[in-house]
Amino acid sequence: MNFDGRVALVTGAAHGIGAATARRLHDDGATVVLADRDADAAGALAGDLGPRARATACDIHDRESVDAAVGTARAAFGRLDLLVTVAGGSIPTPDPEQLTDETWEQLVDLNLTGTMRCVRAALPSLRESPRPAVVMVSSVNGLAAFGDEPYSAAKAGLSVLAKNYAVRYGPDGIRFNVVAPGTVRTRVWDSQDGALERLTPFYPLGRVGEPEDIAAAVAFLASDDAAWITGVTLPVDGGILAGPLRTMFPER
């Protein structure tokens, strides 16, 4: 992929998939703005990447914070061509009968509304770009029944949001696509001893994903190689959605 001369804003860029994505886009020539609530970690990564990287604090729950992150990109580099929304996540939730409105709203805001805030803030700049693209990071939870209902419902919403934006802003040349990862080896699993090993047999390719697997798919959808692709959700999942027999009989 060649992103020479293009400026990318990546949310959730301090760790995991976001950090791998920022590094991949940078390695492929982009100038990157790393937006994350963990400003120290984002700053450390930006320092490693060098002068074509800048870090900014960003809380996607807060409109002013999101607007300021986009402003940082414009002020530092004069433009914005790519937006990648990685920030999101889940928390332990009870069965639906015990689920509170507050927990539902918290997870929907983090995984769906926060992405809307990022797109809303970036649209004026993206309209000025000759090759604009938005890639949203969702989850296989948004494509099949894996539980975690508030998180899953919010991630499912990203696919429909991207389709609608793709139609609405296609005449402006802005492409919107979604990447839906399966289980990926990130820090969220650090406190769950053996969890990744227990999940591995459910994946036909025999392993869980790495952040770099997702970053590669994001880079493709953001690149000119995907210039005629918009409004799609691409599973990057080691085959778990394609392998119901493996799901039912993981020992085979």
pLDDT in tens, 88-100: 999 888 899 999 9
pLDDT value, residue 66: 98
The answer to whether residue 200 sits within a structural domain is: no
Residue 114 lies in a domain: yes
Q: Does residue 203 fall inside a structural domain?
A: no
- pLDDT at site 249: 56
Question: Which percentage of the chain shows pLDDT scores above 90?
Answer: 89
Q: What per-residue confidence (pLDDT) applies to 18?
A: 98
Q: Widest CA span of the chain, in angstroms?
A: 55
Q: By the 8 A CB rule, do 165 and 134 touch?
A: yes
Residue 198: inside a domain, yes or no?
no
Per-residue pLDDT at 247 exceeds 80: no
**pLDDT tens string 29-43:** 999 999 999 999 999
Confidence class of residue 251 from pLDDT cuts 50, 70 and 90? low
What is the per-residue pLDDT for 185? 94
pLDDT in tens, 119-164: 999 999 999 999 999 999 999 999 999 989 999 999 999 999 999 9
Q: Residue 191 — pLDDT band, cuts 50, 70, 90? A: confident
Residue 199 lies in a domain: no
pLDDT of 92 reads: 85
For 76-99, what is the mean pLDDT? 94
Q: Between vectors from CA 220 to CA 217 and to CA 222, what angle results, nearest 5°?
A: 110
Q: What is the mean pLDDT of residues 187-201?
A: 88
Residue 125 inside a domain? The answer is: yes
> What domain count does the chain have?
1
Active site residues: 151
Residue 248 resides in a domain: no
Domain around 124: 7-183+209-234
The CATH number linked to 218 is 3.40.50.720
DSSP assignment of the chain:
---TT-EEEEETTTSHHHHHHHHHHHHTT-EEEEEES-HHHHHHHHHHH-TTEEEEE--TT-HHHHHHHHHHHHHHHS---EEEE----------GGG--HHHHHHHHIIIIIHHHHHHHHHHHHHHT-SS-EEEEE--GGGTS--S-HHHHHHHHHHHHHHHHHHHHHGGGT-EEEEEEE-SB--GGGTTSTTHHHHHGGGSTTSS-B-HHHHHHHHHHHHSGGGTT--S-EEEESTTGGG-HHHHH-TT-
